[in-house]
């Protein structure tokens, strides 16, 4: 079989851009299917193809542009991906894509693999929502089953008085899922990669701190994680990778509770909580994803020094302020500022979590307030 050198990526956002940045030193080129146009973050890294109607011409041009295909976002039209998959390999495969597009499928898969989650019920009507509040108790989190991200498509019911409000907000997006509200200690994620032969490599658990539903910053390795917690997370993600016959990176979001880890959701792709790995791991999530989908050996996933990732949301600080902090790395995505928009991130590593925290406080002085406030003094 001839060597493959061209990667086609569905999506041209920052994840596509960072995949392209990881592919370039390996001598691999990328093209991107991004109907929103040539102004997207990935435009720096390769041709931007595609149109809003997914016309045959646009799809053919994308098909011709690469040997193997992947995606940076799971909320894409499966039919579009199938049109490519009929002719050339797409990794991760269609089963990974279909399952992660719907929270009900995801939660059922977790149950099948004995991965614990919050207790949940499918909700198709106001009557079923009432039943769910009695069965699961309050508070309760009501979520859309598809298209939710960064806390969008969610409603927390705290009393039965919230029933109508919740239904008015989300009822039109039914079917919904109602989940028991989890008073977690913290949120974590585990990221792993599987190659075409079934070999896997797993990054250490990352602690994720959210603000208004959006990831604010993350710490890897998550501080004070016991060996048994790490092993449990490894077991969960391994069973998912195997069951899905997944090729590429898979991310599993977890709640750490007094009774152990609960799975929340997963993503069949590189993830914001893995951005630390660009400088913090021996081989980044982006490079490992590229390696896996192109049939290359996986790289090491260890994290030699504690590493933090701080998201830049809504505003971009002065470059020079950030770069004046020793060891700080700035990644800007080429996006114009808008409230709540992820515009870039900063990574830094230190010899200990205490030292890392100090460096993060130095960074926080240069960031807009909400982000700074969410850092622990």
Identify the residue among 37, 151, 198, 337 touching ligand AMP (CB under 6 A). Answer: 151
Of 93, 95, 29, the residue nearest 67 (C-alpha): 29
Of 72, 195, 207, 265, the residue at the interface with ligand AMP (CB under 6 A) is 265
Residues 231, 219 contacting (CB under 8 angstroms): no
Among 74, 162, 179, 256, binds ligand AMP (CB under 6 A): 179
State how far the Cα of 214 lies from the Cα of 127, in Å rounded to an integer: 31
- Give the range of 18-26, 54-62, 181-189, 330-338 binding ligand AMP by CB under 6 A: 181-189
Contact 32, 42 (CB under 8 A): yes
Given a contact cutoff of 8 angstroms between Cβ atoms, the answer to whether 327 and 335 are in contact is: no
- C-beta neighbour count of 225 within 10 angstroms: 16
C-beta closer to ligand AMP: residue 249 or 292: 249
DSSP-derived pairing of the beta strands 29-33 and 206-211: unpaired
How many beta carbons lie within 10 A of that of residue 96, not counting itself? 26
Helix (H, G, I), strand (E, B) or coil at 6: strand
| Distance of closest approach, residue 122 Cβ to ligand AMP, in angstroms | 15
Q: Which residues pair with 18 in a beta bridge?
A: none
The single residue among 137, 213, 297, 340 that binds ligand AMP, judged by CB under 6 A, is 213
State in angstroms the smallest separation of the CB of 59 from ligand AMP.
30
- Structure tokens that stand for 128 in this block: 């079923």
The nearest distance, CB 304 to ligand AMP, in angstroms, is: 28
Q: Is 260 in the site for ligand AMP (CB under 6 A)?
A: no
Q: Given the rule CB under 6 A, which of 128-136, 177-185, 217-225, 305-313 is the region that contacts ligand AMP?
A: 177-185
- Site size toward ligand AMP (CB under 6 A) is 13
Residue 373 C-beta: closest distance to ligand AMP, Å: 17
d(CA 31, CA 69) in angstroms, rounded, equals 9
CA-to-CA distance for 66 and 30, rounded, in angstroms? Answer: 7
Candidate residues 34, 74, 187, 207; the one interacting with ligand AMP per rule CB under 6 A = 187
One of 70, 101, 264, 349 touching ligand AMP (CB under 6 A)? 264
Shortest distance, position 148 Cβ to ligand AMP, whole Å: 5
State which of residues 16, 148, 280, 317 lies at the interface with ligand AMP (CB under 6 A).
148
d(CA 4, CA 287): 15
Candidates 162-170, 175-183, 325-333, 356-364 — which segment interacts with ligand AMP by CB under 6 A? 175-183
Name the minimum Å distance from CB 73 to ligand AMP.
14
Neighbours of 59 (CB within 10 A): 19
DSSP for 58-79, please give it: HHHHHHHH-SEEEES-S-S-HH
Give the three-class secondary structure for 375: coil
- Interface residue list for ligand AMP (CB under 6 A): 118, 141, 148, 151, 179, 181-182, 187, 210, 213, 253, 264-265
């Amino acid at each position: 079989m001839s060597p493959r050198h061209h990667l086609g990526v569905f999506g041209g956002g920052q994840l596509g851009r960072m995949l392209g940045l990881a592919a370039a030193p390996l001598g691999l080129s990328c093209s991107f299917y991004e109907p929103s146009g040539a102004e997207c973050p990935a435009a720096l890294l390769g041709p931007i193809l595609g149109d809003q109607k997914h016309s045959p011409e646009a799809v053919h041009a994308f098909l011709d542009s690469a040997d193997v295909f992947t995606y940076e976002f799971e909320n894409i039209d499966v039919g579009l991906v199938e049109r490519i998959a009929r002719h050339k390999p797409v990794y991760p495969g269609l089963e990974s894509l279909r399952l992660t597009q719907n929270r009900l499928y995801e939660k059922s898969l977790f149950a099948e693999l004995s991965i614990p989650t919050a207790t949940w019920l499918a909700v198709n009507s106001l009557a079923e929502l009432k039943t769910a509040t009695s069965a699961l108790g309050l508070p309760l989190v009501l979520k859309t089953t598809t298209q939710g991200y960064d806390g969008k498509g969610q409603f927390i019911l705290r009393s039965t008085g919230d029933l109508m409000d919740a239904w008015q907000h989300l009822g039109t997006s039914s079917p919904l899922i109602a989940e028991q509200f989890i008073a977690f200690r913290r949120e974590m994620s585990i990221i792993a990669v599987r190659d075409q032969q079934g070999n896997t490599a797993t990054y250490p658990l990352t602690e994720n701190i959210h603000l208004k539903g959006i990831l604010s910053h993350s710490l890897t390795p998550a501080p004070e994680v016991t060996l048994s917690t790490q092993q449990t997370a490894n077991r969960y993600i391994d069973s998912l990778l195997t069951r899905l016959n997944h090729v590429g990176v898979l991310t599993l979001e977890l709640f750490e509770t007094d009774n152990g880890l609960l799975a929340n959701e997963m993503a069949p792709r590189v993830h914001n909580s893995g951005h630390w790995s660009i400088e913090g791991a021996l081989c980044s999530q982006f490079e490992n994803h590229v390696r896996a989908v192109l049939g290359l050996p996986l790289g090491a996933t260890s994290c030699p020094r504690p590493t933090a990732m701080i998201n830049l949301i809504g505003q971009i600080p002065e470059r020079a302020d950030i770069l004046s902090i020793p060891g700080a790395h700035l990644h800007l995505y080429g996006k114009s500022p808008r409230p709540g928009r992820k515009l870039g991130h900063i990574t830094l590593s230190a010899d200990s979590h205490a030292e890392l925290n100090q460096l993060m406080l130095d960074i926080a002085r240069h960031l807009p307030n909400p982000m700074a406030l969410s850092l622990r003094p």
